[in-house]
Structure 1
């Protein structure tokens, strides 16, 4: 049973502001672990003005990337290797010719690949309070889904092109979000798939308090660490995530996660019980 509409109907809006500075952000949202939307913050960024599929095709280098399809979190899904430009060409062809296309590019370390693009964004209001920032791109067709999961880092999410819908839920409801036992680097997944909901397995899920928003191009959303969120693209879209770690978190949380991921890759921790292994 698909209960996305039902969850949206019972959800509340997320607080929205039209501008923000680093001090106000820290005081009112970062320290309080409170989500907020900064409307239109990225409208002045070069990325919002320039980035589209033709822009990416015009970049000098090509890179190997990893693709997903359908619901990355709850579906039986694995990464698949592809060329960045071949993927962009396929996505462009699907858009122009109205083809069914499900592959999408997730958590691309875009500034590692194309460092000259870093000047096209400005997360300074957030980065004044973090020591390390992992910035990744999300590029894909309409209807791509990242099911409910909770990132261990604070996340500032900028919508560059297209629209995306977010449903979020506080850490107060961790138990009734039904965390998965599968390993996922830097996050915890939920076993609940709201596109194929199983009421008998998750009887208390719909009693949780949810908030929701549709991000327009230029909007920026702060998702506090460990808050649950579901993301669905309403249009072909380009987005940027900034996962930020404080100095303390770099030497505690991030260090621990790297050790666990290293053990996982070597088969010592939850081997073959994960979301990250590449399909053959």
Structure 2
């Protein structure tokens, strides 16, 4: 049987692919009661947001943290229609340590990666409305398996202008300023090339390198994914090191409130503890690795070799995309509040300009050229 991937190569498709009803893990058949019985009283850490209109995306800093059991989480999903909860981006190697029956089910052999297991995988558990703001992952590519419930994915190619921003900053994530959860329709003028797909239990999705994606649970949903490294990651880590160097120096002397607005919570410690010398050392190490490594081009994917259950995701027509935005917008009553908008004067504009992907690409090029002299 021919696979899209194998352990001796990297994924070669330049487009997202959906594998319909492909994954036969036992987990796919589990009910929510099975998860409750398995996880028992283990305390999980959820982010909590609101099912309401906000002018900006609901950044992680704007959500609150709630520690609760899986059973209590399910009770929440049945009683609270105004909020959402998300146990997101949690590595299985760090959680559920006493649940061998869960971890043994996670096997990526179906995609040609028998060497990958639960130790390499992350889990996402959330209620309806739980979502991740639109962003790009700068490292690797992604395979996602839907375990329970339905999850909506909105995808755009890397060159689509979705107003990239490094605020809030975290390593390897470039966010979009556009709010897909409660959109202002006029903000999306000129945006196109959208793909939309809803994953159901047993489905899998391949997300290519640096594709924009917005992800939202349509029901209480569980998914598991794995990131696959790519040769391009050496170049991306060098660029990320340059961004981190700049962000580290800019935020050194800022007041705590402004610093928190600029950094994602998971970056607080890593940025706050990095000295100038340490930050520069990271840049030079990433540069040295890049210059010593030859980056080979990936082969172009031959769609004629696709197995019957593999589909490319069609591009939405302008009217279909407009309908999607209108459906998202009509769920909530628009408010006049400006309270959640970030406004820290010229510092944010400066960061936006210096950390923009186009700027960093130019800096990386010039720095490499000067290093060869």
CA deviation after TM superposition for structure 1 residue 161, in Å: 0.3
Larger Rg: 2
Report the counterpart of residue 142 of structure 1 in structure 2: 128
- Contact residue 164 and residue 234 of structure 1 kept, 8 A: yes
Matches within 5 A, 1:34-183: 34-42=15-23, 44-50=24-30, 52=32, 54-59=34-39, 62-63=42-43, 65-70=45-50, 74-78=57-61, 80-83=64-67, 86-97=68-79, 100-115=82-97, 116=100, 117-124=102-109, 125=111, 127=113, 134-152=120-138, 153-173=140-160, 176-182=161-167, 183=169
Corresponding residue number in structure 1 for 2:197? 213
State the aligned residue count: 252
Secondary structure at the counterpart of residue 89 of structure 1: helix
Contact 1:22 1:128 (8 Å CA) reproduced: no
Taking the aligned partners of 1:181 and 1:134, their CA distance within structure 2 comes to 26
Helix, strand or coil at the partner of 2:153? strand
Instruction: Say whether the 8 Å CA contact 2:180–2:214 is kept in structure 1.
Output: no
Aligned-residue offset at 1:163: 0.6
Q: CA deviation at 1:185?
A: 3.1
Q: CA deviation at 1:151?
A: 1.3
Structure 1 gaps, min length 5: 1-18
Q: How many angstroms apart in 2 are the aligned matches of 1:241 and 1:63?
A: 22
Give the unaligned 5+ runs of structure 2: 269-373
Q: Distance in 2 between matches of 1:46 and 1:74?
A: 35
Looking at structure 1, the residues matched to 127 and 219 of structure 2 have their Cα atoms a distance apart, in angstroms, of 6
Cα pair distance change 1:114/1:194, threshold 3 Å: closer
Where does residue 12 of structure 1 map in the other structure? none
**2:125–2:223 contact (8 Å) kept in structure 1:** yes
Distance 1:81 1:277, change over 3 A: same
Match of 2:222 in 1: 238
| Residue deviations 1:21-73 (CA, integer Å, cap 9, x gap) | 2547998x92233211111122x212212363542453367355352424898
TM-score by length of 2: 0.56
Q: SS of 2:94's equivalent? A: helix
Distance 1:129 1:90, change over 3 A: closer
Greater Cα shift, 264-273 or 73-82: 264-273
Structure 2 CA distance for partners of 1:248 and 1:156, relative to 1, 3 Å: same
Asked whether the 8 Å contact 1:94–1:101 carries over to 2, the reply is no
- 2:245 and 2:41 mapped to 1: Cα distance? 29
How far apart are the structure 1 equivalents of 2:133 and 2:38?
Answer: 32
Q: How far apart, CA to CA, are the structure 2 residues paired with 1:77 and 1:154?
A: 23
Q: For residues 36 and 22 of structure 1, do their structure 2 counterparts lie closer, same or farther at Cα, with a shift above 3 Å needed?
A: closer
User: What's the CA shift string for 1:114-154, capped at 9, x where partnerless?
Assistant: 35232111223253698xx8521111111222232111231
